[in-house]
């Protein structure tokens, strides 16, 4: 760049120097030549007049006219000019350089004509005789007022030309030196002007290469200095804008990464531009493998493809609920530039959990109504029987009252469980920890459950670790958890079966297991038994709300422990939960 600016400045300067010096030289040479010619002319006029005087005597006497030729030579040797004597009719009588007899009549020579007319004539022309440019000056030779001849002196112009040429040489060397100085000056000026421009270029190259932190030193406050200022401001702004964009990008990336909804962005041809981890997990693909590939290849779902196509063609948001990837989804396709349909944002909302929850709630309401209605109907029937006279039969009355009491207990249990679950769900279930000997608690529960077990009949055995550390737990809730587990172990046991409640501990946890020899749980049911309202026994022949284990799980987790199940169908189940020794801040 600097070289081109250099030549852009230098070439016009040189052309200007050449033109200026050319014109100047031409005019100077011309005027100098004229001055010199005028000088020469004046000198020749004087000389001619002198020669005329000297020759007057010889012209006046025809007998002496023959001396004139010799006289020309004498004078010419003295003053160094060519001398010619001519009589008024043009005949040459003497010439210092030529034999006058060979010379033609000179009456037509311009200087002769002018001399005869005005007394003095001059001419400059090429002499065919001497082969040179000559200046001729002719004056009249007079005797007593009579013109008796013409004296002409002539000098070649070579001396004048030589002097002019030397002047022109001077002008040319002056021009060359000036032009060189200009070239040098142009180089210096260009360097000065282009240095900041070079700095700006370098800084701009830096920005282009991604190094945004470019500032250039400002040394002047001229136009280029201002350009530097503007450049620095621009680079600063660019840096800030880029930082803001990077920030926004990382915010967006964080939002996308943590969004539970799946997000895909596609271009006008439904090719994937962007995806987030949620949708990658949903359809089990990696973003890097599918960028630039059609959406359908990643999601394998024509219904979704159709929704996106419709969004593209109408430029309007489209929503659909569908089953895809084994989940129940709401898919929303949003045009990114509404009306232009150039790209589409597709949101995948997984409604499976919600739908399951709704289904479960529906089932719960059904179950609760059924489970409430059964004991209420029993109580009602028994109360009616008592009213109808059974009250008078003391034994029957007692039996009915005992059964009514049992049904009321069932109702109370169900309501308690529902309240507990609602507490857990609304976060109101606060733990009231007190130091507890879990072994003692188990003995209590075993004793409490014994009558129920005996009714089955099932035997409860305890296998408790001695020296079990006392731990701080919410005793009532852990008691309830144990009751739930033992109750299940009785309920799902076979007559004559066994229940073993055991404890052990290590440095971290106290572990409690309740195992039975009952019907066990099928592989399909096993992953679900801790879910709310889940019952493997769909016929609900053994009662229960399906809430016990869900509550147990929440309780144990709230204490910082865990609950798990091992079971083999037909052989029995073992439910195990842990409670940390060190309660920490739980």
Q: Which residues bind ligand ADP (CB under 6 A)?
A: 484, 488-489, 492, 516, 518-521, 529, 534-537, 544-550, 573
- The residue among 253 and 461 lying less far from ligand ADP, judged by its C-beta, is 461
Residue 537 CB, shortest distance to ligand ADP, in Å, is 5
**CB-closest chain residue to ligand ADP:** 544
Nearer to ligand ADP, 53 or 569 (CB): 569
Q: DSSP assignment of 398-423, as one string? A: HHHHHHHHHHHHHHHHHHHHHHHHHH
User: Shortest Cβ distance from residue 487 to ligand ADP (Å)?
Assistant: 7
Q: Say how far apart CA 40 and CA 46 lie, in whole Å.
A: 10
- For ligand ADP, the closer of residues 343 and 529 by Cβ is 529
Residue among 329 and 453 whose Cβ is closer to ligand ADP: 453
Q: How far apart are CA 318 and CA 295, in angstroms?
A: 16
- Cα(100)–Cα(91) distance, rounded to whole angstroms? 9
The H helix count followed by the E strand count for the chain is 14, 17
Shortest approach of ligand ADP to residue 433 CB, angstroms? Answer: 24
CA distances, 470 to each of 231, 505, 525 (Å): 75, 11, 35
Q: How far is the CB of 490 from ligand ADP (least distance, A)?
A: 9
For the bound state, the minimum distance from the C-beta of residue 573 to ligand ADP, rounded and expressed in Å, comes to 4
CA distance 325 to 301: 9
Contact 481, 492 (CB under 8 A): no
Min CB(461)–ligand ADP separation in Å: 15
Nearest distance from residue 489's CB to ligand ADP, in Å?
5
How far apart are CB 578 and ligand ADP at their closest, in Å?
18
Tokens standing for 131?
């082969």
Is the CB of 307 or the CB of 442 nearer to ligand ADP?
Answer: 442
CA angle 229, 231, 235 (to 5 degrees): 120
| Closest distance to ligand ADP from the beta carbon of 444 (Å) | 20
Name the residue nearer to ligand ADP (CB basis): 224 or 483.
483
* Measured distance CA(185)–CA(13) in Å, rounded: 10
Closest CB to ligand ADP among residues 71, 552: 552
Residue (228 or 548) nearer to ligand ADP, CB? 548
Whether the CA torsion 453, 455, 456, 459 is positive or negative: it is positive
Q: How far is the CB of 533 from ligand ADP (least distance, A)?
A: 8
Query: Nearer to ligand ADP by C-beta: 382 or 446?
Result: 446
Question: What is the DSSP secondary-structure string of 319-344?
Answer: EEEEEETTEEEEEEEEESSTTT---E
Dihedrals φ, ψ of 85, to 5°? -110, 130
Output 315 or 543, the one with its CB closest to ligand ADP: 543
> C-beta of 515: minimal distance to ligand ADP in Å?
8
3-state secondary structure 166-224: HHHHHHHHHHHHHHHHHHHHHHHHHHHHHHHHHHHHHHHHHHHCCCCCCCCCCCCCCHH
CB of 521 closer than 8 Å to CB of 569: yes
Closest CB 501 distance from ligand ADP, rounded Å: 12
262 or 572: CB nearest ligand ADP: 572
* Nearer of residues 328 and 534 to ligand ADP, judged by Cβ: 534
Residue 26 half-sphere exposure, CB side, CA atoms within 13 Å?
Answer: 5
**Strand 497-505 with 458-463, pairing:** parallel
Q: Could you give the 3-state DSSP secondary structure of residue 154?
A: strand
- Helix, strand, coil content of the chain in percent (nearest 5): 55, 20, 25
| Strand order through the sheet with 120-127 | 92-95, 82-86, 146-156, 132-143, 120-127
Our CA angle for 319, 322, 325, nearest 5°, is 125
Nearest Cα residue to 513 out of 478, 487, 482? 482
294 beta partners: 271
Query: What distance in Å separates the CA atoms of residue 63 and residue 70, rounded to the nearest whole number?
Result: 14
């Amino acid at each position: 760049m600097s070289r081109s600016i250099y030549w852009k400045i230098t070439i016009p300067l040189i052309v200007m120097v050449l033109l200026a010096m050319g014109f100047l030289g031409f005019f100077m040479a011309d005027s100098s030549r004229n001055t010199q010619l005028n000088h020469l002319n004046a000198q020749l006029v004087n000389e001619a007049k002198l020669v005329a005087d000297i020759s007057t005597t010889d012209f006046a006497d025809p007998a002496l006219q023959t001396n004139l030729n010799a006289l020309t030579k004498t004078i010419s040797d003295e003053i160094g000019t060519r001398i010619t004597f001519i009589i008024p009719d043009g005949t040459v009588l003497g010439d210092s350089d030529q034999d006058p007899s060979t010379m033609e009549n000179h009456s037509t020579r311009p200087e002769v004509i002018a001399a005869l007319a005005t007394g003095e004539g001059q001419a400059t022309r090429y002499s065919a005789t001497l082969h040179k440019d000559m200046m001729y000056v002719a004056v009249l030779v007079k005797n007593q007022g009579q013109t008796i001849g013409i004296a002409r002196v002539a000098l070649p112009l070579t001396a004048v030309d030589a002097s002019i040429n030397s002047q022109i040489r001077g002008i040319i060397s002056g021009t060359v030196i000036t032009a060189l100085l200009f070239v040098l000056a142009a180089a210096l000026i260009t360097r000065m002007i282009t240095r900041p421009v070079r700095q700006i270029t370098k800084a701009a190259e830096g920005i282009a290469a991604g190094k945004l932190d470019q500032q250039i030193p400002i040394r002047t406050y001229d136009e280029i200095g201002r350009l530097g200022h503007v450049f620095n401001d621009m680079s600063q702004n660019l840096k800030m804008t880029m930082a803001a964009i990077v920030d926004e990008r990382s915010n967006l990336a964080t939002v996308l990464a943590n969004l539970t909804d799946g997000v895909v962005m596609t271009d006008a041809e439904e090719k994937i531009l962007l995806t987030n981890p949620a949708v990658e997990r949903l359809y089990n693909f990696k973003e890097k493998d599918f960028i630039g590939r059609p959406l359908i290849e990643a999601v394998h779902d024509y219904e979704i493809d159709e929704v996106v196509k419709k969004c593209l063609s109408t430029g309007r948001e489209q929503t659909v609920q569908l089953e895809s990837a084994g989940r129940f989804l709401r898919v929303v396709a949003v045009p990114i530039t509404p009306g232009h349909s150039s790209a589409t944002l597709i949101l995948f909302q997984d409604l499976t959990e919600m739908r399951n929850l709704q289904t479960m709630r529906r089932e719960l309401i059904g179950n609760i109504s059924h489970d409430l209605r059964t004991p209420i109907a029993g109580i009602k029937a028994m109360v009616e029987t008592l009213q109808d006279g059974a009250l008078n039969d003391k034994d029957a009355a007692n039996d009915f009252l005992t059964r009514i009491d049992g049904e009321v207990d069932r109702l109370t249990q169900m309501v308690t469980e529902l309240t507990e679950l609602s507490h857990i769900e609304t976060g109101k279930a606060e733990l009231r920890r007190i130091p507890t000997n879990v072994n003692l608690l188990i003995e209590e529960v075993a004793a409490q459950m014994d009558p129920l077990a005996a009714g089955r009949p099932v035997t409860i055995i305890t296998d408790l670790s001695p020296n079990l550390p006392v731990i701080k737990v919410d005793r009532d809730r852990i008691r309830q958890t144990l009751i739930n587990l033992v109750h299940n172990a009785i309920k799902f046991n076979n007559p004559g079966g066994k229940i073993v409640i055991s404890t052990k501990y290590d440095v971290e946890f106290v572990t409690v297991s309740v195992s039975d020899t009952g019907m066990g749980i099928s592989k399909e049911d096993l992953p679900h038994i801790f879910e709310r309202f889940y019952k493997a026994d769909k016929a609900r022949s053994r009662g229960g709300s399906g809430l016990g284990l869900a509550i147990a799980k929440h309780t144990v987790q709230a204490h910082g422990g865990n609950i798990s199940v091992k079971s083999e169908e037909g052989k029995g189940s073992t439910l195990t939960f842990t409670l940390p020794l060190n309660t920490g801040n739980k």
